[in-house]
Amino acid sequence: MKTLNIWRIKSATATGAELEVEGRHLLRIAVLEDRLFRVSLLKDGVWRLDRSWTIAPNGDAPLEGRNRDRNDGFACPAFTLSESEGQIVLATDTMRLTVSTPLHLSWEARTAEGWKVFAEERSTGALMLGVRDHRHSHFLSRSRLDKVYGLGEKAGLLERSGRRYEMRNLDAMGYDAETTDPLYKHVPFTLTKTADAGCWSIFYDNLAGTWFDLGNELDNYHKPYRSYRAEDGDLDYYMRWADNLGELSTAQAKMTGGTAFPPRWTLGYSGSTMSYTDAPDAQVQLEGFLSKIAEHDIPCDSFQMSSGYTSIGPKRYVFNWNTDKVPDVLSMTAKFRDAGVHLIANIKPCLLQDHPRYGEAEDAGLFVRDSETGKPERSIFWDDEGSHLDFTKPETQRWWQENVTRQLLEKGIGSTWNDNNEYEIWDDLALCEGFGSEIPVKLIRPIQPILMTRASETAQKAHAPHLRPYLISRSGAPGLQRYAQTWTGDNRTDWKTIRWNIRMGLGLSMSGFFNIGHDVGGFAGLKPEPELFVRWVQNGIFHPRFTIHSWNDDHTVNEPWMYPEVTHHIRDAIKLRYKLMPYLYTLLWRMARFDEAMMRPTFVEFPDDQRCWDDTDDFMLGPDLLVANVVDKGVATRKVYLPENGTGWWDFHAGTWHKGGQELDLSVDLGSMPLFVRAGAILPLAEGSSRAAPEAETGRILALFPVPATGEATGELFEDDGISVDAPFSHLSFSLKEAGGALDLDWTKDGSGTPVLSEATLVLPKGETRTLSARGTALGQGASISL
């Protein structure tokens, strides 16, 4: 590779400027928003890959990809462009980019103290480009005071400084959540908090294999730097500035198409295990699950069927029903439907070489092709070799949709679990159809799982156009969240996995993937001991996706009732999740409507509290709940730091108020689930619900947590039928104020729908002694109001 130094301005454009670099390359700078610039390097003036599937400011990208020359969907505001000897400056009201000689870019933001540099390239060589290939590198200066986040589900600490990461999608079964790298997803996006110039993010829109070095590497010839290196593709990145990190996460989600709004039932407990569908009597095992949740009084809304239902011998064959294991699929799905438990089926994008329909797919040309022979590529997959379907071919899209419809949807299974879709095809030049323009797989490996999931979604929408679809996908890149929920893959059963999975989930949330979760109980390894299992469930209930799943090495099954001596603790935890369902669903709606993360690090919510920047197991669930799970073995106490929020915190369970900015030393037992509510919050809660469907609730609670000094509190409740596209909705906004020594509740309503329940019971914490009224009418503690 060669360092790029020489440049001249070629032309001003409607959105920025074009520079000629080294007499042959083209560097484009586009001002997309007041706080967002795009920088693109075209080797010899030509894109390596002229399309993007990740950028979707209008809400989605074309199936064949978005032309990289487009900037529509962005505001493209007015800007100034000034030139001087060896330098140009592009500026909006808030953000300024200076290009100087030798080629060097520096970004500033307008702060209260004036213009401040928030990011700049390494002065001793910023860009390197392959001479005979498309490798490239980008180097930025690094300050030891910078705090770096993002990169998706990466293992280890949430703050990424000082380490090196690789983006290469792998089926990392049994990974160590503290150390394993790479993992399942390709998320070339980082967020950085500076010491005094706000926060900034950079997203590299390139899907080839990449590496991020955030301070692990040292070089005597350069001051401290951080680097991005790619083995192929285009250097095409988006640089954004914001006042805080939360704004950056929201903007990233919005720029990559927003987040799907799944049905309400997806917030309920979802059962799953490899054991049931691997068993010779899979249908009996699956139907037995329904009996057991009823027997043990475990609320449940869905079950994720692992791939054993497709088996022939020990191997798995997508869209092939093993009728020995499942002799009457229609009868089985009817039983689940009658029980109100939704079925989700595992499907895989690779056909093993002896798949009964391999020849059919080969004759139709549906596979990614070998780079030398043109025949279907062959890769190791699930105990054999197989060929991966090419979803950049319209015929493959149609074939997949037809099979999802015929083999799943028409049999009563309404949702898809798009799994094992990392596309580990290591013939880098294997050819994808590219919707008419061939693309080597190494340039779009993470897009294949997105297109697979999109094909599944298309089938689901066509089959039930009135319903909001639900999909799960394990692998992908930014843009996946437009279609599917995701999770952190096949984790290993270990105490430390709970702790590090929390950080992995927060890393995804900060990177624009908000609807996420983990395999509760551990997927690989030995079964969890009773205490570990309880703690894992108590943690899992506070994540958007709550699924107990397993493929234990000792052939055991992770089930809520697996240890009778602790089943009551498991039941209590799951029922707490269902009690929180109205609050969770409101957060889910805000996630889809406003691109807000459901899970947030405490420092995102309270950036001015320096203690919140320390590594912690605690996190925020929405703006109001501080989750402080017990994640250590055999402890009798749990230290909890309450962030300084200006109003203090209420203990959700005990009803006691505590000042913010202090550490509590709580006594805990096996049933403890430490949870604190921001003083000034109103939480909508449910009573008596065994399912997440709104009609299953028997009572509504409005839990009022006023600020002690002022009596003020606010909250909201979003409700619709939970399943329909564009369903009529009710959105209630609550406010609590002190009037004459009493607390008075008022509310407003938006939307054409009606509240699910016409009455709500008002509840104050035990430590709150002021009298209560609603719209001026005096009430007693526990009184009901009509909504």
Q: What is the CATH number of the domain that holds 197?
A: 2.60.40.1760
Task: Report d(CA 584, CA 693) in Å as an integer.
Answer: 13
DSSP states along 507-528: HHHHTT--S-EEEET-SBSSPP
DSSP 3-state assignment of 517?
A: strand
As given in the structure block, the two tokens for residue 675 are 């949870």
Which residues on adjacent β-strands are paired with residue 749?
Answer: 732
Contacts of 257 (CB under 8 A, 6+ apart): 56, 57, 59, 60, 61, 479, 481, 482
Q: Is residue 576 part of a domain?
A: no
Which secondary structure element, helix H or strand E, spans residue 283, and what is its range? helix 282-295
Task: Report d(CA 675, CA 649) in Å as an integer.
Answer: 10
Is a pLDDT exceeding 80 seen at residue 401? Answer: yes
Task: Report d(CA 342, CA 279) in Å as an integer.
Answer: 21
Among candidate residues 195, 224, 255, the one where a domain is terminated: 255
Which pLDDT belongs to residue 688? 87
Residues 632 and 655 in one domain: yes
Residues 398 and 444 in one domain: yes
As given in the structure block, the two tokens for residue 136 are 């490239």
Residues 21 and 155 in one domain: yes
Contacts of 59 (CB under 8 A, 6+ apart): 257, 258, 482
Mean pLDDT, all residues of the chain: 97
Is a pLDDT exceeding 90 seen at residue 499? Answer: yes
As given in the structure block, the two tokens for residue 161 are 């400084």
Q: Is residue 478 part of a domain?
A: no
pLDDT digits (tens, 9 = 90+) for 522-536: 999 999 999 999 999
Task: Report d(CA 88, CA 729) in Å as an integer.
Answer: 51
Residues 704 and 671 in one domain: no
Is a pLDDT exceeding 90 seen at residue 309? Answer: yes
Q: What is the pTM of this model?
A: 0.98
Mean pLDDT across 149-164 = 98
DSSP 3-state assignment of 206?
A: coil
Could you tell me the sign of the dihedral formed by the alpha carbons of 606, 610, 615, 618, in that order?
Answer: negative
Determine the structural domain holding residue 664 and report its residue range. Answer: 601-678
Look-up: residue for tokens 């329940």? 757
β-strand 699-705 against 681-687: which pairing, if any? antiparallel
Residues 146 and 248 in one domain: yes
pLDDT digits (tens, 9 = 90+) for 22-81: 999 999 999 999 999 999 999 999 999 999 999 999 999 999 999 999 999 999 999 999
Which pLDDT belongs to residue 43? 98
Is a pLDDT exceeding 80 seen at residue 403? Answer: yes
Task: Report d(CA 717, CA 24) in Å as an integer.
Answer: 58
Which pLDDT belongs to residue 690? 87
DSSP 3-state assignment of 248?
A: helix
Q: Is residue 273 part of a domain?
A: no
Is a pLDDT exceeding 80 seen at residue 781? Answer: no
DSSP summary character for residue 485: B
Task: Report d(CA 370, CA 746) in Å as an integer.
Answer: 66
Residue among 77, 52, 55 at smallest CA distance from 65: 52
Which residues on adjacent β-strands are paired with residue 638?
Answer: 666
CATH of the domain at 711: 2.60.40.1180
Task: Report d(CA 550, CA 562) in Å as an integer.
Answer: 12
pLDDT digits (tens, 9 = 90+) for 229-241: 999 999 999 999 9
Which pLDDT belongs to residue 398? 98
pLDDT digits (tens, 9 = 90+) for 555-581: 899 999 999 999 999 999 999 999 999
DSSP 3-state assignment of 190?
A: strand
Task: Report d(CA 189, CA 341) in Å as an integer.
Answer: 37
Residues 103 and 227 in one domain: yes
* Type of residue at 425: I
CB atoms within 10 A of CB 122: 20
Residues 371 and 465 in one domain: yes
CA distances from 87 to 79, 81, 677 (A): 17, 11, 52
Residues in the chain: 787
Counted domains in the chain = 4
DSSP 3-state assignment of 73?
A: coil
Task: Report d(CA 691, CA 200) in Å as an integer.
Answer: 41
Which pLDDT belongs to residue 650? 98
Mean pLDDT across 735-746 = 93
pLDDT digits (tens, 9 = 90+) for 592-610: 999 999 999 999 999 999 9
Residues 742 and 665 in one domain: no
CB atoms within 10 A of CB 66: 21
Task: Report d(CA 296, CA 645) in Å as an integer.
Answer: 41
What angle separates helix 447-463 from helix 394-407, to the nearest 10 degrees?
50
Residues 242 and 190 in one domain: yes
Q: Is residue 577 part of a domain?
A: no
Q: Is residue 488 part of a domain?
A: no
Q: Is residue 80 part of a domain?
A: yes
Angle at 616 between CA 615 and CA 621, to 5 degrees: 125
Residues 610 and 737 in one domain: no
**How far from the centroid of its chain's Cα atoms is residue 213's Cα?**
23
Which secondary structure element, helix H or strand E, spans residue 96, and what is its range? strand 95-100
Q: What are phi and psi of 666, to 5 degrees?
A: -90, 140
pLDDT digits (tens, 9 = 90+) for 415-442: 999 999 999 999 999 999 999 999 999 9
Which pLDDT belongs to residue 782? 80
What angle separates helix 581-594 from helix 567-579, to the nearest 10 degrees?
50
Mean pLDDT across 199-224 = 98
As given in the structure block, the two tokens for residue 657 are 């108020």
DSSP 3-state assignment of 536?
A: helix
**How far from the centroid of its chain's Cα atoms is residue 39's Cα?**
26
DSSP states along 432-464: E-GGGS-EEHHHHTTHHHHHHHHHHHHHHHHH-
E strands, 486-624, where? Answer: 517-520, 545-548, 599-600, 619-621
| Distance in Å from the first CA to the final CA of the chain | 67
CB atoms within 10 A of CB 633: 10
Residues 135 and 41 in one domain: yes
DSSP 3-state assignment of 14?
A: coil
Residues 631 and 725 in one domain: no
Which pLDDT belongs to residue 740? 84
Q: Band of the pLDDT at 741, cuts 50, 70, 90?
A: confident
Q: Band of the pLDDT at 739, cuts 50, 70, 90?
A: confident
Task: Report d(CA 221, CA 166) in Å as an integer.
Answer: 24
The answer, yes or no, to whether the previous bond of 601 is cis (omega within 30 of 0) is no
Q: What are phi and psi of 152, to 5 degrees?
A: 75, -135
Q: Taking a C-beta distance cutoff of 8 angstroms, is the pair 624, 677 a contact?
A: yes
Residue among 496, 589, 495, 502 at smallest CA distance from 541: 502
Burial per residue of 519-529, b for 16 or more beta-carbon CB atoms within 10 angstroms, e otherwise: bbbbbbbebbe
Which pLDDT belongs to residue 629? 97
Which pLDDT belongs to residue 689? 86
pLDDT digits (tens, 9 = 90+) for 450-483: 999 999 999 999 999 999 999 999 999 999 999 9
Share of the chain above pLDDT 90, in %: 97
Contacts of 688 (CB under 8 A, 6+ apart): 697, 698, 699
Among candidate residues 199, 229, 255, the one where a domain is terminated: 255
Q: Taking a C-beta distance cutoff of 8 angstroms, is the pair 370, 430 a contact?
A: yes
Among candidate residues 631, 651, 678, the one where a domain is terminated: 678
Angle at 349 between CA 393 and CA 262, to 5 degrees: 95
As given in the structure block, the two tokens for residue 752 are 């054409």
Task: Report d(CA 50, CA 46) in Å as an integer.
Answer: 8
Mean pLDDT across 358-369 = 98
Q: Is residue 123 part of a domain?
A: yes
Q: Is residue 714 part of a domain?
A: yes
The answer, yes or no, to whether the previous bond of 314 is cis (omega within 30 of 0) is no
Is a pLDDT exceeding 80 seen at residue 205? Answer: yes
